[in-house]
Amino acid sequence: MNILVAEYASALGLGGTLELEGRAMLSVLVESLLSSGHEVVYPTRGPRIRAGKPVFLQGEGEFESLLESIDVHAALLIAPDGLQPRLLEKIENRDQVANLGSSPAAARLAADKLLCTRALARAGVPVAQIVDRPDEVDKGCLQYVVKPRTGSGSEGVRITSSARAGQDEIITRYHEGLHLSASFIVGEEGFLPLTLNRQLIDLVDGRMEYQGSQVPYSTPRGDEIWKAARRAAEALGLRGYAGIDFVLGDLPRAVDVNARPTTSIIGIARVMREQIGELILRARFGGLPERVHIEGEHTFRKGDLA
């Protein structure tokens, strides 16, 4: 099978850790699919990875036109949450190309943190309560989380005692707890848990900065987290590989949903016996296993990706 893996940040050379994370994810997916006997192409403006066939781009517009024209059987897209839905539509509009990820509608809902949080709450998934107005003074000094309504990971997230936000931001209550993520795959045959991961988070001047992950992370509350993740995936209609960030305190509270591959696959590929690329294909075409086999542990930091 001919497969396109289109990772936006590395393809366009956006720079910084965003590009480094993107290229690391791209490498994992391309190498995994190749090892399963498929032919893989990927877009780039110059830098090449060790495997796969590059398709060289001149500008941003060529990334989009590639999705509309390249001759492949299937495509897997990784793009910023705000762009993902529109770019997925270009893939889904092609009858002969299978989208290996979530639908544009599911990606759009997951990307909008306000609508996503409300949808999860309606489905009974624990979330951080959205704050519409400042609390009364007599409640004391409370802390809040202010984050962009559409954004990736911890980008632009800050903790503050002021319940004030910009027009394109939302406010939720701050909950103490362990920062974890759940990585999983959803197919026609159901929900396949992969790993729970500990997120390495730095708090600098009230701003949260994601630094890497420990994969997997063992906790006696794993069943509780997976129950919430499964319910969230069903409520949002996720497909293919996805990840949900949780704060594990009194409850496992879902705080962010990624309807696409996440950086955790860098560690998952090191500890999972199965090939992540093949599992993503089987989610689309059938044959998902009941479980995966995890051996050992791998911790990576963004600074190591260079």
Per-residue pLDDT of the chain (306 residues; tens, 9 = 90+): 999 999 999 999 999 889 999 999 999 999 999 999 999 999 999 999 999 999 999 887 899 999 999 999 999 999 999 999 999 999 999 999 999 999 999 999 999 999 999 999 999 999 999 998 766 544 545 889 998 888 766 677 888 887 777 788 999 999 999 999 999 999 998 999 999 999 998 887 778 888 999 999 999 999 999 999 999 999 999 999 999 999 999 999 999 999 999 999 999 999 999 999 999 999 999 999 999 999 999 999 988 887
Residues in Cβ contact with 22 at an 8 Å cutoff, skipping those fewer than 6 apart = 7, 8, 9, 10, 11, 14, 78
Domain range for 164 is: 137-173
Q: Are residues 59 and 12 in the same domain?
A: yes
140-164 CB burial, b ≥16 within 10 A, e <16: eeeebbbbbbbbbbbebbbeeeebe
Predicted local distance difference test score (pLDDT) of residue 67? 97
Q: What is the CATH number of the domain that holds 248?
A: 3.30.470.20
Pairing label, strands 74-78, 98-99: parallel
Q: Are residues 169 and 197 in the same domain?
A: no
The verdict on residue 202 lying in a domain is: yes
Q: Are residues 169 and 180 in the same domain?
A: no
Q: Are residues 199 and 278 in the same domain?
A: yes
Q: How many domains does the chain have?
A: 3
Q: Are residues 275 and 163 in the same domain?
A: no
Phi–psi pair at 102, nearest 5 degrees: -70, 165
Q: What is the CATH number of the domain that holds 47?
A: 3.40.50.11770
The verdict on residue 246 lying in a domain is: yes
The verdict on residue 132 lying in a domain is: no
Q: Are residues 118 and 213 in the same domain?
A: yes
Mapping DSSP onto H, E and C, the string for the chain reads CEEEEEEHHHHHCCCHHHHHHHHHHHHHHHHHHHHCCCEEEEEECCCCCCCCEEEECCCHHHHHHHHHHCCCCEEEEECCCCCHHHHHHHHHCCCCCEECCCCHHHHHHHHCHHHHHHHHHHCCCCECCECCCCCCHHHCCCCEEEEECCCCCCCCCEEECCCCCCCCEEEEECCCCEEEEEEEEEECCEEEEEEEEEEEEEEECCEEEEEEEEECCCCCCHHHHHHHHHHHHHHHCCCEEEEEEEEECCCEEEEEEECCCCCCHHHHHHHECCCHHHHHHHHHHCCCCCCCCECCCEEEEHHHCC
Q: Are residues 155 and 202 in the same domain?
A: no
